[in-house]
Structures are given as C-alpha cells and as structure tokens.
Amino acid sequence: MRYLHTMVRITDVDASLDFYCNKLGLEEVRRYENEKGRFTLIFLAAPKDKGASSAARAPELELTYNWDPEDYTGGRNFGHLAYKVDNIYDTCRRLMDGGVTINRPPRDGHMAFVRSPDNISIEILQEGDPLPPAEPWVSMPNTGSW
C-alpha cells in the first residue's frame, strides 16, 4: 500500500492557492480541468516532496474546485484519503471480510471507496493498469455515499 493524496474541496481557487502556496509554501505540481464534470483538480506538493510527487504522484494535496456553487456542510469540504494497492480485489475482499462496507465497488478494476469508523472517505486505487472486471464487483451496487 502507498499513500497518495488528501483531497479538500475549495470554494475560491485564488484564495486557496494564495493560502496553500504563497503563505503555507506548497507548490502546484499539476492541474486537471474537466468541463463535462464541471470541476478542476489542483495538486500541490511540499517543496521537499516535489521529486516524489513528480515520480509517483505522491504525497500530494488535491484541491477540488466544483464549478457549480455548493455549501459544504457536515465536513463535505474534506474529500478523502487515497491509497494505491497491489490488488484492489484482494484488498476489498479483506475489508468486506472484516465487516467494512464497500461504498463504491471496484467495478472497473481500478477504484473503490470505503469509509472509516469515523466516516472518513477512503479511495482505494489499483497500482498500475486496472484489473480485468470481475464478479462480485461488476454487479455490486453502490452503497451510501463516499
């Protein structure tokens, strides 16, 4: 398992970059804009983590700006923790066997979401290429929110 990033939703890109970059000292390492999904992802890294960020896209802070205004209540501005694993199906099976609900199953062989006992959303990503779609994951519905 490898730590990737923490995602935080933001409401003002300029104010957030001023805080995280100009004041805190993080540096923008990449940006992704999705017109269809109407969001922007801005990835930041600490200066001493830029080499690792460039090589492995970790460890980073992901700022998510949703283009449509939204009031973030109930901690929704904090998004999720993200980890890459060697085999997403084995990891999800181990979690399920331990009584953890798979909120977003890895139907695509690439991504799943679960929640911690404190309701923190955790994204699990397949290391390397996605695994071929497989049951029971392909037919498993989403449960709750993530």
Query: Which conformational region is residue 5 in: left (phi greater than 0), alpha (psi within -120 to 50 degrees), or beta?
Result: beta
3-class DSSP assignment, residue 69:
coil
CA–chain centroid gap for 64, Å, is 10
* Cα–Cα distance for residue pair 33/12, rounded to 1 Å: 15
State the catalytic residue, choosing from 27, 28, 70, 123.
123
Torsions phi, psi of 106, nearest 5? -80, 60
* Cα–Cα distance for residue pair 1/124, rounded to 1 Å: 9
Active site residue 123: yes
Do the beta carbons of residue 57 and residue 4 sit within 8 Å? yes
List active site positions.
123
